[in-house]
């Protein structure tokens, strides 16, 4: 397949591996966009928390309690997204390497070919 796809032993068009098309890439892209959004939000929260802390105004310090909770929740969500991505990638690699004891070939239009050894 042209573009970003994963295939098991599909070098030069041969082999009997399973091809995982753009669905996996779309899932990864969506998750990474969500992670980046949360990280951007966290950057703004941290900036506001720092400003409130430096001001030492009682109302601002009280507001920091809620901001720190929100920051903590965002971090928890990022960890969950990365855990889901890791599990999804592992399942995909397991499925694509079934029947191929020599490893899995990752094809990318930009990176050429790279062999990844199964764990």
> Does the pLDDT at position 109 exceed 80?
no
Whether the predicted pLDDT of 89 surpasses 70: yes
pLDDT of 1-48, one tens digit each?
444 444 443 333 444 444 556 788 888 999 999 999 999 999 999 999
User: Strand pairing of 104-108 and 5-7?
Assistant: antiparallel
- Token pair 């091809």 is at which residue? 19
Report the mean per-residue pLDDT for the chain.
Answer: 77
Give how far the C-alpha of residue 68 lies from the chain's centroid of Cα atoms, to the nearest Å. 24
Q: What is the pTM of this model?
A: 0.64
- DSSP labels, 44-83: HHHHHHHHHHHH--HHHHHHHHHHHHHHHHHHHHHHHHHH
Per the DSSP assignment, residues forming a β-bridge with 115 are: 105
Domain positions in the chain are 22-33+47-94
> 76-80 contacts: CB < 8 A, separation 24 or more?
77/38, 78/35, 78/38, 78/39, 78/42
Which candidate, 3, 2, 6, places its Cα nearest to that of 114? Answer: 6
pLDDT tens per residue, range 47-79: 999 999 999 999 999 999 999 999 999 999 999
Phi, psi (deg, nearest 5) at residue 5: -150, 155
């Amino acid at each position: 397949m042209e573009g970003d796809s994963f295939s098991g032993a599909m070098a030069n068009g041969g082999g009997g591996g399973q091809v995982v098309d753009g669905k996996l890439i779309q899932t990864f892209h969506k998750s990474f966009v969500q992670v980046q959004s949360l990280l951007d939000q966290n950057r703004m929260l941290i900036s506001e928390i720092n400003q409130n802390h430096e001001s030492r105004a009682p109302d601002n310090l009280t507001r920091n309690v809620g901001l720190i909770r929100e920051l903590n929740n965002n971090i928890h969500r990022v960890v969950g997204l990365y855990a889901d991505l890791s599990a999804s990638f592992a399942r995909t690699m397991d499925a694509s390497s079934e029947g191929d004891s020599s490893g899995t070939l990752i094809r990318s239009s930009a990176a050429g070919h790279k062999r990844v050894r199964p764990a």
